[in-house]
Homo-oligomer: A and B are copies of this chain.
């Protein structure tokens, strides 16, 4: 697993990626604390391989988390504290978002 600075190093494919794209509402409203807590909590789940996140000054953000398989993703989605964060995300933090679950088939890095 990886939550440290620098790009995430993942094992050889296949594995899964959850691509979360979002548009934040204005103001923190507890968002930063929640985001940090969700990384801490999710990275403890079996099958977690890493997470990468970027958000521009316009409030548009992309977070990609990497997982061994779909069962790991489902288990994390059902986590009680995560479900509460999902609810607050829908109601407060995100003006819009899309979640995509994808199977990584090939990967390569800088030579």
Contacts and interface: CB of A to CB of B under 8 A. Distances in A.
Interface of A: 6-8, 10, 13, 17, 19, 21-23, 52-57, 60-62, 64, 90, 94, 96-111
B109 A101 contact: no
Chain A contact residues: helix, strand, loop or mixed: strand
**Closest 5 A-B residue pairs measured CB to CB?**
A102-B102, A54-B54, A62-B62, A100-B107, A102-B104
Given A17-B19, A97-B109, A99-B109, 20 more contacts: A7-B21, A7-B23, A7-B97, A7-B98, A8-B21, A8-B98, A13-B100, A17-B17, A19-B104, A52-B62, A53-B56, A54-B54, A54-B56, A62-B62, A62-B64, A64-B64, A97-B110, A98-B107, A98-B110, A102-B103
Nearest to A102: B102
Copies of this protein, total: 2
Contacts of A13: 100
